Amino acid sequence: TLEPLYIITPTYRRPEQIPELTRMSHTLMLVKNVHWLVIEDATVTTKQVTRLLERTGLKFEHLTAPMPEKYKQKKGAKPRGVSNRNRGLQWIRANATNGVFYFADDDNTYDIALFDEIRKTKRVSMFPVGLCTKFGLSSPIIKNGKFVGFYDGWIAGRKFPVDMAGFAVSVKFLLQRPNATMPFKAGYEEDGFLKSLVPFEPKDIEFLADNCTRVLAWHTQTKKNEPSAPLNMKLYGETNLV
Ligand code: UDP
Ligand code: MN
Protein backbone atom coordinates (compact mmCIF):
# COMPACT_ATOMS: atom_id res chain seq x y z
CA THR A 1 0.00 0.00 0.00
CA LEU A 2 1.00 3.55 -0.76
CA GLU A 3 2.40 5.51 2.19
CA PRO A 4 0.97 9.00 2.76
CA LEU A 5 2.47 12.11 1.24
CA TYR A 6 2.15 15.11 3.56
CA ILE A 7 2.16 18.41 1.71
CA ILE A 8 2.86 21.35 4.03
CA THR A 9 1.57 24.56 2.46
CA PRO A 10 1.90 27.99 4.08
CA THR A 11 -0.64 30.52 2.88
CA TYR A 12 -1.94 33.98 3.82
CA ARG A 13 -4.82 36.26 2.95
CA ARG A 14 -4.43 38.35 -0.17
CA PRO A 15 -6.33 38.69 -3.46
CA GLU A 16 -4.18 35.94 -5.03
CA GLN A 17 -4.78 33.42 -2.24
CA ILE A 18 -7.84 31.64 -3.66
CA PRO A 19 -6.51 31.48 -7.24
CA GLU A 20 -3.17 30.10 -6.00
CA LEU A 21 -4.84 27.48 -3.81
CA THR A 22 -7.26 26.58 -6.60
CA ARG A 23 -4.40 25.88 -9.00
CA MET A 24 -2.45 23.96 -6.40
CA SER A 25 -5.44 21.91 -5.26
CA HIS A 26 -6.14 20.85 -8.83
CA THR A 27 -2.61 19.51 -9.04
CA LEU A 28 -2.91 17.62 -5.76
CA MET A 29 -6.28 16.15 -6.82
CA LEU A 30 -4.32 14.17 -9.42
CA VAL A 31 -2.05 12.61 -6.78
CA LYS A 32 -2.81 9.48 -4.76
CA ASN A 33 -2.81 9.31 -0.96
CA VAL A 34 -2.05 12.97 -0.36
CA HIS A 35 -2.72 14.60 2.99
CA TRP A 36 -2.64 18.39 2.54
CA LEU A 37 -1.65 20.50 5.54
CA VAL A 38 -2.76 24.03 4.71
CA ILE A 39 -1.54 26.45 7.32
CA GLU A 40 -2.60 30.07 7.30
CA ASP A 41 -0.48 32.92 8.57
CA ALA A 42 -3.45 34.22 10.53
CA THR A 43 -5.13 33.85 13.91
CA VAL A 44 -8.35 32.48 12.45
CA THR A 45 -8.97 30.34 9.40
CA THR A 46 -10.41 31.97 6.28
CA LYS A 47 -13.89 30.71 5.41
CA GLN A 48 -13.23 30.78 1.66
CA VAL A 49 -10.16 28.58 2.15
CA THR A 50 -12.12 26.07 4.22
CA ARG A 51 -14.76 25.85 1.47
CA LEU A 52 -12.13 25.41 -1.19
CA LEU A 53 -10.50 22.59 0.79
CA GLU A 54 -13.83 20.85 1.32
CA ARG A 55 -14.61 21.01 -2.39
CA THR A 56 -11.34 19.28 -3.35
CA GLY A 57 -12.29 15.96 -1.76
CA LEU A 58 -8.68 15.75 -0.57
CA LYS A 59 -7.70 14.63 2.89
CA PHE A 60 -6.65 17.92 4.55
CA GLU A 61 -5.94 19.82 7.75
CA HIS A 62 -6.70 23.52 7.91
CA LEU A 63 -4.51 25.10 10.60
CA THR A 64 -3.33 28.56 11.59
CA ALA A 65 0.10 29.81 12.69
CA PRO A 66 0.56 33.59 12.65
CA MET A 67 3.98 35.08 12.09
CA PRO A 68 5.14 36.45 15.47
CA GLU A 69 4.66 40.25 15.76
CA LYS A 70 8.37 40.91 16.17
CA TYR A 71 9.08 39.54 12.69
CA LYS A 72 5.98 41.13 11.14
CA GLN A 73 7.15 44.57 12.26
CA LYS A 74 10.70 44.10 10.99
CA LYS A 75 11.51 46.04 7.84
CA GLY A 76 13.17 44.26 4.94
CA ALA A 77 13.05 40.52 4.30
CA LYS A 78 10.71 38.63 6.61
CA PRO A 79 10.76 34.92 7.48
CA ARG A 80 7.69 34.17 5.31
CA GLY A 81 5.84 30.96 6.01
CA VAL A 82 8.15 29.84 8.80
CA SER A 83 5.62 29.73 11.64
CA ASN A 84 3.27 27.91 9.24
CA ARG A 85 5.87 25.26 8.33
CA ASN A 86 6.88 24.72 11.95
CA ARG A 87 3.18 24.24 12.76
CA GLY A 88 3.09 21.62 10.01
CA LEU A 89 6.08 19.84 11.55
CA GLN A 90 4.31 19.92 14.91
CA TRP A 91 1.22 18.32 13.34
CA ILE A 92 3.35 15.62 11.71
CA ARG A 93 5.07 14.82 15.01
CA ALA A 94 1.70 14.49 16.72
CA ASN A 95 -0.15 12.58 14.00
CA ALA A 96 2.07 10.91 11.40
CA THR A 97 4.07 7.70 11.64
CA ASN A 98 5.25 7.01 8.08
CA GLY A 99 5.40 8.43 4.60
CA VAL A 100 7.13 11.55 3.34
CA PHE A 101 6.57 15.29 3.75
CA TYR A 102 7.25 18.19 1.40
CA PHE A 103 7.15 21.96 1.92
CA ALA A 104 5.08 23.26 -0.99
CA ASP A 105 4.42 27.00 -1.15
CA ASP A 106 0.99 27.97 -2.49
CA ASP A 107 2.33 29.94 -5.47
CA ASN A 108 4.73 27.41 -6.99
CA THR A 109 3.99 25.11 -9.93
CA TYR A 110 4.29 21.36 -9.52
CA ASP A 111 4.37 18.58 -12.12
CA ILE A 112 2.36 15.62 -10.82
CA ALA A 113 5.35 13.40 -11.65
CA LEU A 114 7.20 15.14 -8.80
CA PHE A 115 5.01 13.41 -6.25
CA ASP A 116 5.90 9.93 -7.56
CA GLU A 117 9.54 10.93 -7.20
CA ILE A 118 9.13 12.27 -3.66
CA ARG A 119 7.54 9.01 -2.51
CA LYS A 120 10.94 7.29 -2.96
CA THR A 121 12.47 9.38 -0.15
CA LYS A 122 14.05 7.29 2.65
CA ARG A 123 15.91 10.12 4.44
CA VAL A 124 16.13 13.47 2.62
CA SER A 125 15.80 13.75 -1.13
CA MET A 126 16.69 16.65 -3.41
CA PHE A 127 15.81 17.67 -6.97
CA PRO A 128 15.92 20.74 -9.27
CA VAL A 129 13.64 23.77 -8.97
CA GLY A 130 13.12 25.94 -12.03
CA LEU A 131 12.66 29.72 -12.25
CA CYS A 132 14.69 30.03 -9.09
CA THR A 133 17.14 32.88 -8.32
CA LYS A 134 18.99 34.91 -10.96
CA PHE A 135 20.38 31.64 -12.41
CA GLY A 136 16.88 30.48 -13.29
CA LEU A 137 17.52 27.11 -11.65
CA SER A 138 18.48 25.75 -8.26
CA SER A 139 19.77 22.18 -8.26
CA PRO A 140 22.27 19.72 -6.91
CA ILE A 141 24.97 19.08 -9.54
CA ILE A 142 25.57 15.42 -10.41
CA LYS A 143 28.59 14.65 -12.61
CA ASN A 144 29.13 11.10 -13.87
CA GLY A 145 26.64 9.92 -11.28
CA LYS A 146 28.48 11.68 -8.43
CA PHE A 147 27.34 14.66 -6.38
CA VAL A 148 29.78 17.54 -6.82
CA GLY A 149 27.96 20.54 -5.36
CA PHE A 150 25.01 22.88 -5.67
CA TYR A 151 24.01 25.20 -8.49
CA ASP A 152 22.15 28.21 -7.08
CA GLY A 153 22.28 31.94 -7.75
CA TRP A 154 22.55 32.70 -4.05
CA ILE A 155 25.02 30.44 -2.20
CA ALA A 156 25.49 32.94 0.67
CA GLY A 157 27.59 30.66 2.81
CA ARG A 158 24.86 28.05 3.02
CA LYS A 159 25.76 24.40 3.58
CA PHE A 160 22.57 23.40 1.71
CA PRO A 161 21.93 26.18 -0.87
CA VAL A 162 18.58 24.82 -2.05
CA ASP A 163 15.05 26.13 -2.49
CA MET A 164 12.16 25.23 -0.21
CA ALA A 165 10.58 23.31 -3.12
CA GLY A 166 13.81 21.38 -3.79
CA PHE A 167 13.76 18.74 -1.08
CA ALA A 168 11.52 16.20 0.70
CA VAL A 169 11.95 14.38 4.00
CA SER A 170 10.87 11.00 5.31
CA VAL A 171 8.47 11.22 8.27
CA LYS A 172 10.37 8.50 10.17
CA PHE A 173 13.63 10.41 9.60
CA LEU A 174 12.02 13.54 11.10
CA LEU A 175 10.54 11.67 14.05
CA GLN A 176 14.04 10.47 14.96
CA ARG A 177 15.12 14.14 15.14
CA PRO A 178 12.91 15.84 17.73
CA ASN A 179 14.97 19.05 17.67
CA ALA A 180 14.60 19.66 13.94
CA THR A 181 13.05 23.09 13.31
CA MET A 182 12.95 25.89 10.76
CA PRO A 183 14.68 29.10 11.92
CA PHE A 184 13.03 32.54 11.61
CA LYS A 185 15.92 33.72 9.47
CA ALA A 186 15.01 35.17 6.07
CA GLY A 187 16.99 33.50 3.28
CA TYR A 188 18.34 30.78 5.53
CA GLU A 189 15.13 28.85 6.25
CA GLU A 190 16.00 25.82 4.08
CA ASP A 191 19.63 25.69 5.19
CA GLY A 192 18.74 26.12 8.85
CA PHE A 193 16.10 23.40 8.70
CA LEU A 194 18.33 20.92 6.82
CA LYS A 195 21.21 21.61 9.22
CA SER A 196 18.87 20.95 12.15
CA LEU A 197 18.32 17.38 10.85
CA VAL A 198 21.50 16.13 12.53
CA PRO A 199 23.01 13.77 11.77
CA PHE A 200 22.57 14.59 8.08
CA GLU A 201 25.35 15.40 5.62
CA PRO A 202 25.44 16.03 1.85
CA LYS A 203 26.64 12.41 1.40
CA ASP A 204 23.27 11.26 2.78
CA ILE A 205 21.18 13.11 0.16
CA GLU A 206 19.08 11.00 -2.21
CA PHE A 207 18.93 12.57 -5.67
CA LEU A 208 15.65 12.26 -7.52
CA ALA A 209 14.22 13.29 -10.91
CA ASP A 210 16.66 11.19 -12.97
CA ASN A 211 19.72 12.30 -11.03
CA CYS A 212 18.49 15.90 -10.98
CA THR A 213 18.17 16.20 -14.75
CA ARG A 214 14.41 16.90 -14.80
CA VAL A 215 12.70 20.04 -13.54
CA LEU A 216 9.40 19.07 -11.90
CA ALA A 217 8.86 22.11 -9.66
CA TRP A 218 9.02 25.80 -10.49
CA HIS A 219 9.35 28.76 -8.19
CA THR A 220 6.65 30.72 -10.01
CA GLN A 221 5.55 34.03 -8.51
CA THR A 222 2.25 35.70 -9.20
CA LYS A 223 2.29 39.45 -9.63
CA LYS A 224 0.53 41.39 -6.89
CA ASN A 225 -3.01 42.43 -7.76
CA GLU A 226 -5.16 45.28 -6.54
CA PRO A 227 -8.17 44.04 -4.61
CA SER A 228 -11.17 44.25 -6.94
CA ALA A 229 -13.56 47.13 -6.45
CA PRO A 230 -16.52 46.44 -4.17
CA LEU A 231 -18.82 46.91 -7.18
CA ASN A 232 -17.41 43.75 -8.76
CA MET A 233 -18.31 41.69 -5.72
CA LYS A 234 -21.88 41.18 -6.94
CA LEU A 235 -20.66 39.98 -10.30
CA TYR A 236 -18.29 37.44 -8.87
CA GLY A 237 -20.41 36.35 -5.92
CA GLU A 238 -18.17 35.49 -3.07
CA THR A 239 -14.81 37.18 -3.13
CA ASN A 240 -11.73 36.86 -1.07
CA LEU A 241 -11.14 40.54 -0.40
CA VAL A 242 -8.86 41.26 2.52
N1 UDP B 1 3.48 33.47 3.27
C2 UDP B 1 2.90 33.58 4.52
N3 UDP B 1 2.89 34.82 5.13
C4 UDP B 1 3.42 35.94 4.55
C5 UDP B 1 4.02 35.81 3.28
C6 UDP B 1 4.05 34.56 2.66
O7 UDP B 1 2.41 32.61 5.06
O8 UDP B 1 3.36 37.02 5.16
C9 UDP B 1 3.52 32.15 2.60
C10 UDP B 1 3.14 32.16 1.11
O11 UDP B 1 1.75 31.93 0.95
C12 UDP B 1 4.00 31.07 0.52
C13 UDP B 1 5.23 31.06 1.42
O14 UDP B 1 4.84 31.69 2.65
O15 UDP B 1 3.36 29.80 0.57
C16 UDP B 1 6.43 31.81 0.82
O17 UDP B 1 6.03 33.14 0.53
P18 UDP B 1 6.26 33.80 -0.91
O19 UDP B 1 5.76 32.89 -1.96
O20 UDP B 1 5.72 35.18 -0.86
O21 UDP B 1 7.85 33.86 -0.92
P22 UDP B 1 8.84 33.88 -2.18
O23 UDP B 1 8.32 32.95 -3.20
O24 UDP B 1 8.84 35.28 -2.65
O25 UDP B 1 10.13 33.43 -1.60
MN1 MN C 1 6.63 32.04 -3.66
**pLDDT in single tens digits along all 242 residues of the chain:** 899 999 999 999 998 999 999 999 999 999 999 999 999 999 999 999 999 999 999 999 999 999 999 999 989 999 999 999 999 999 999 999 999 999 999 999 999 999 999 999 999 999 999 999 999 999 999 999 999 999 999 999 999 999 999 999 999 999 999 999 999 999 999 999 999 999 999 999 999 999 999 999 999 999 998 876 554 554 444 555 44
Task: Check if 11 has its Cβ closer than 6 Å to any atom of ligand 1.
Answer: yes
Output the CA 144–ligand 1 centroid distance in Å. 36
**Cα distance between residue 103 and residue 168, in whole Å:** 7
ipTM score here? Answer: 0.99
- For residue 54, indicate whether it is catalytic: no
Tell me the pTM. Answer: 0.95
Q: What residues contact residue 62 under an 8 Å CB cut-off, 6+ apart?
A: 38, 40, 45, 49, 50, 53
* φ and ψ of 239, to 5 deg: -125, 175
CA dist 223 and 137 (Å) reads 20
